[in-house]
Amino acid sequence: MSVELKPIVREDIETVWKMQVEAFSELLERYQDHNLNPAAESMDRVQARFEQPGSIYYFIVSGGENVGVIRIIDKKDGSRRRISPVWIMPQHRNRGYAQQAILEAERIFGAHNWSLDTILQEKGNLHLYEKLGYHQTGRIDKINGRMDIVYYEKD
Rounded average pLDDT over 49-72: 98
Tens digits of per-residue pLDDT, 99-153?
Answer: 999 999 999 999 999 999 999 999 999 999 999 999 999 999 999 999 999 999 9
pLDDT at 1 over 90: no
Task: Return the SS3 of 5.
Answer: strand
Backbone angles phi, psi at 139, to 5 degrees: -85, 125
CATH of the domain at 72: 3.40.630.30
Q: What is the structure's pLDDT at 39?
A: 97
Residues spanned by the domain of 59: 4-110
Q: Report the chain's mean pLDDT, rounded to a whole number.
A: 97
Q: What is the structure's pLDDT at 59?
A: 98
d(CA 68, CA 59): 6
Structural domains of the chain, count: 1
Residue 9 covered by a domain: yes
